[in-house]
Chains A and B, each alone.
Chain A
């Protein structure tokens, strides 16, 4: 419902005086970026849960979040690339913001690969948690890259000191779309966590079956 409301509103916003109709790509690109970073932040807290508090659900949450965060980061990269082609005349530039987001996507792939490579879930969880904590350094780099370096990407216009620099006619549908995507993200993470718990139950049963047979 929130999605339908947000997309409907997004289609009705007036064209931007500089970017024209392409401003509508922002309603996908910004939530994608925000959720790509949120996903890694969730995994960072989960990594602490695995390494420090050893909470049993921490590595389940981390493993479930990784592909979903990666998908949203990919969405951010693809929509940003299409937006860049129409506004900057190029799909890609090696500027600090774009490169640091690409690095985040590669880090996601690294964590997913670790989970798939190491068979024992508890060992995989520790290795993935260490990589997640190291990768968390990329989050402030993404956020402040537009301030620290001279980039083609525009500076922060929503989450910044002072008021957002976007007009309310565009800001409100952007916030609605962000809420819709965030609700989708949370639902998907919870569903993926449930699947992971089932997968571990299957694994336990298979181990019991194997030990009973031997």
Chain B
């Protein structure tokens, strides 16, 4: 009798916990994909952490001096 009265509360509690856990897992996975995608995009543009491609183009004066 008591169990039947409180079944709704038990189901609601387990549903809330499932939402929290599934929500956290989804957030972590989607965030990972988003960061990976952004990194891949930046690397496609020639940007890497220690990329020489990031060095600005030398000015004509600098190019002349280097030559």
Contact = CB atoms under 8 A, between A and B. Distances in A.
A75 interface: yes
Given A201-B39, A204-B49, A208-B54, A188 B9 contact: no
Interface in B1-52: 2-3, 5-7, 9-10, 12-14, 16-17, 20-21, 23-25, 27-29, 31-32, 35-36, 38-39, 42, 45, 47-49, 51
Contacts of B20: 71-72, 74-75
A75 B42 contact: no
A75 B17 contact: yes
B24 A82 contact: no
- Chain B interface category by residue count: 35 or more
A192 B49 CA distance: 21
A184 B6 contact: no
A211 B21 CA distance: 41
Interface in A35-90: 67-68, 71-72, 74-75, 78-79, 82-83, 85-86
A15 B10 CA distance: 13
B32 A205 contact: no
Contacts of A21: 2-3, 6-7, 10
Contacts of B47: 205, 208-209
Given A15-B3, A191-B28, A25 B49 contact: no
A97 interface: no
Nearest to B39: A202
A198 B32 contact: yes
Given A71-B24, A188-B25, A82 B13 contact: yes
Contacts of A15: 2-3
Interface of A: 15, 20-22, 24-25, 28-29, 32, 67-68, 71-72, 74-75, 78-79, 82-83, 85-86, 184, 188, 191-192, 194-195, 198-199, 201-202, 204-206, 208-209, 211-212
19 contacts: A21-B10, A22-B9, A24-B10, A25-B13, A28-B13, A68-B24, A82-B9, A86-B6, A188-B24, A188-B25, A194-B32, A195-B31, A198-B36, A199-B35, A201-B39, A202-B35, A205-B39, A205-B42, A208-B47
Given A28-B14, A206-B42, A212-B54, 6 more contacts: A21-B7, A67-B27, A71-B23, A74-B20, A79-B13, A199-B35
